[in-house]
Chain A
């Protein structure tokens, strides 16, 4: 497996880094500020863990399915799915939470119940998000609310592992879940990854793309200096909520701010998470919740029993829409002229490709 030099040349220098943060802090040479991840000095080593954990290189979809779930996916749109629900937080909903507040509720619940020792997530305000390792319910709630710029929050996961913590959890974007799974699966230098208990819970978010921080400078001018309290990107276009009202844009206006790696990304629903959480694109008081693993099932069951979340049936007629959206993203990537299976920035799709095309054709428009 190559090392830092290739990571820099193939990914970082070509603008293909999605700022997951997994390589940050493995060595003293890869650092982060804001949403930037940069190599600050050559390490001189031919091989390195930084390259092997990167979700933008050698991400073999089938191998990942087998490593995480022990089986191949049947659904090429959503990956390995056990159950899918509408869900929302129970009584203790975080004030700033997005939609149903399920991601925050589950993260806080897992911490409260001692199922994880700490949660790596994106905290800070909308304007200056930053990685946080939450160890208490309050700290989780402090991080509630979606961030639309990339936060390299896995850097704090790395740091906590180095400090000897174990049984950690994370709330992350699909690339971050993939990176954490790669790290867990790989036989990497150092002992922080060799502990199978290192990452005990991966809560994935739905994510179609993240924005460069330049978006905030753009948005700041538009809201004329008012404080941006919350942001959302529903189908009808992005909205920024300020204290005196909302500011809305057409999706096309913000497209220039979409990070390059996101337009090459294949995974919009965190396919290797234990649980995936996203919007419903239907009812803003609910989330979509996908249960993927036994561990995820366990957490949901307990959370339901204790009233941390509640669930409802996923409306049958909505499922094709969700699958369509996920497949569309994959088809867009496959249709890019520069697409090459396994080329840096793209996953190894392999024989899944035929199934994707078949299922995409099979979905009702």
Chain B
């Protein structure tokens, strides 16, 4: 993680970069002029990195309100001939898809690269979508780096490819590439010297089927170019009968697996860096000699299905091949074929099944192996909201208010840190979670079901960044159609989940320049919806206002505003919070270890030795909420200010 490395001017130098920094560097080397993104893991750091160097390279960098708007802005730059970059996670491509699909027809001018971060195993996502399928649907070419260095090289080259095809190019990067650090050999940073131009009479239009035919021609050309691309390579014996076709980091796993099984001499590996459209003639060159083909890729059998379709078209020439992969069930992780990540062990296990080569699965494999090795030494660890997280207090208040209300109210969720409301850390309070902003739309529907006899109070929670991103149209709809629900806006004044990026409610932009703040209260009241404000750290008052607002009708909004606990203490001295051992009476109290077991802030721990509650001061962020909830008032907060 070195911005120094990204900044390094001297070509040929080798530096260590993360995959995301490497993508940023690749864009710099391509002379990118305009970069826009909405933060999403695993690619959230790409734009942040570019923002840090924006000034010195005179590039425009923005955090956009959502991915569609980001892509539209980047397209504008491309229409004028500038090179532009958009970065999003797979879910973001869904948001941007309508425009992306149209853009794929109209085409672009200046090189335009869309970096899409896929998250196999859904480490920090609600699903593990394989965006390559969507790229195929909308006719965009896809490059897939298998290493940190390749992420840089591919990003850089994708700009030229885009200009050659007059089509945006997708660089599909998975979490293991984005978040890994690796050694990269730098190229030369290019300064953009282009003058943007979009004259009267210039036209970039999506209309009719003539353009569809052109689009198909562009892909045919791309396929031809890909057959000669250096991103596709072959290692192994000549005329290998057993061929592995691998893309992304699965290529590395395949090499490792072959070594483990001592199969390298007899097995060929065809690395596919350009996964859509397929480099057909290149593939046929290798398929013609093969009698067994194994596919290694994440997540869905994308290359597999398309190569099998290619082989079917050419079966007369290439003869009979047995295909091993997700469809045949041979290449599968513990959760089943096409589900979760690949790794060398999974591939080695698959190859062992296919070839009969001996493979003893290592003891330390997956969760089961870890449990075997560590046994009771490692307690189970839930996903948890951070110490002092205002969402924890908000969820406790919502839970309490709904119990007090007694009408069986329901709570709908959305995307952000607070999605953890589905788990124990959020008291399992959230009952629906889908995608950005969906909770508000679903609430709008729930709030219209009274005529059918559905009379439960409806609460939906949404974060500040998600509110700007996708909740506003649903709120307008609710007002217009007189839906009946309460929106609780969990405003922690940042896009916390992805690393504290700013959003339209903040006073500065991605590059730290002053911004015109768009206040959420103004939007909500402008729509004509009543809006109250409350500090969630004051649990009692929050419960009170939620109880009161539950009694009201129509759409209404409660903003629970409190800065993210991590952002609030950054660079400041934290309040000291401690348990008074005289007041805490441990298990003699009727609370059943409320602070550590139920409220469950990670800073509230149980001291087995004294049989009393304790604060883990290293973890505690000093919010003091637990002190207000302890029934014995045994927790003291020493305020630093």
Contact = CB atoms under 8 A, between A and B. Distances in A.
Contacts, number: 71
A33 B547 contact: yes
Nearest to B633: A162
Contact of B404 (A36, A44, A45): A36
B590 A34 contact: no
Interface in A29-78: 29, 31-34, 36, 38-41, 43-45, 48-50
Contacts of B588: 189-190
B543 A28 contact: no
Interface string A15-28: 00000000001111
Interface string B303-333: 0000000000000000000000000000000
B631 A40 contact: no
Nearest to A39: B403
A163 interface: yes
Interface in B384-416: 399-401, 403-406
A162 B631 contact: yes
A40 B630 contact: no
A31 B400 contact: yes
Contacts of A191: 585
A43 B590 contact: yes
Q: Which has the most chain B C-beta neighbours within 10 Å: A29, A32, A48?
A: A29
Interface stretch (B89-97, B370-378, B513-521, B592-600): B592-600
Contacts of B589: 27, 189-190
B633 A163 contact: yes
Contacts of B401: 33
A44 B405 CA distance: 22
Nearest to B551: A34
Contacts of A31: 400, 403-404, 543
Nearest to B547: A33
A28 B598 contact: yes
A34 B551 CA distance: 12
A28 B547 CA distance: 18
Interface string A302-336: 00000000000000000000000000000000000
B544 interface: yes
Contacts of B594: 27-29, 43
B525 interface: no
B399 A27 contact: no
B592 A45 contact: yes
B590 A38 contact: no
A26 B404 contact: no
A45 B590 contact: yes
B629 A41 contact: no
Nearest to A37: B404
A48 B590 contact: yes
Secondary structure at chain A's binding surface: helix, strand, loop or mixed?
loop
A33 B598 contact: no
For chain B, the bracket of interface size reads: 20 to 34
B598 A189 contact: no
Contacts of A33: 401, 404-405, 543-544, 547
Contacts of A41: 399, 403, 427, 598
B434 interface: no
B590 A26 contact: yes
Q: Which has the most chain B C-beta neighbours within 10 Å: A25, A43, A50, A163?
A: A43
A207 to B, nearest CB: 23
Contacts of B630: 28
A162 B547 contact: no
B567 interface: no
B62 to A, nearest CB: 44
Contacts of B598: 28-29, 41
Contacts of A43: 590-592, 594
A38 B403 contact: yes
A162 B592 contact: no
Interface string B326-361: 000000000000000000000000000000000000
B408 to A, nearest CB: 12
B632 interface: yes
A235 to B, nearest CB: 33
A28 B397 CA distance: 12
Interface string B624-641: 000001111100000000
Contacts of A28: 591, 594, 598-599, 629-631
A40 B590 contact: no
A50 B631 CA distance: 13
A191 B601 CA distance: 27
A27 B591 contact: yes
A26 B631 contact: yes
Contacts of B629: 28
A93 to B, nearest CB: 33
A44 B587 CA distance: 12
Given A26-B590, A44-B592, A45-B592, A36 B631 contact: no
A38 B633 CA distance: 21
Contacts of A32: 404
Interface in B561-618: 585, 588-592, 594, 597-599
Interface string B528-563: 000000000000000110010000000000000000
B395 to A, nearest CB: 12
A104 B481 CA distance: 51
A36 B590 CA distance: 21
B632 A49 contact: no
A45 B597 CA distance: 13
A39 B404 CA distance: 8
B404 A190 contact: no
A27 B585 CA distance: 13
B55 to A, nearest CB: 51
Contacts of B597: 44
A164 B640 CA distance: 26
Contacts of A163: 633
B404 A162 contact: no
B631 A25 contact: yes
A43 B399 CA distance: 15
A189 B404 contact: no
A200 to B, nearest CB: 22
Nearest to A26: B590
Nearest to B630: A28
A49 B590 CA distance: 7
Contacts of A34: 404, 547
A161 to B, nearest CB: 11
B592 A40 contact: no
A27 B543 contact: no
Shortest 10 CB-CB distances between A and B: which pairs? A40-B403, A33-B404, A33-B547, A27-B590, A43-B592, A28-B594, A38-B403, A40-B400, A44-B592, A38-B404
12 contacts: A28-B598, A28-B599, A28-B631, A31-B403, A33-B405, A36-B406, A41-B403, A41-B427, A45-B592, A162-B633, A189-B588, A190-B585
Given A26-B631, A190-B589, 5 more contacts: A36-B404, A41-B399, A45-B592, A48-B590, A50-B590
Interface of A: 25-29, 31-34, 36, 38-41, 43-45, 48-50, 162-163, 189-191
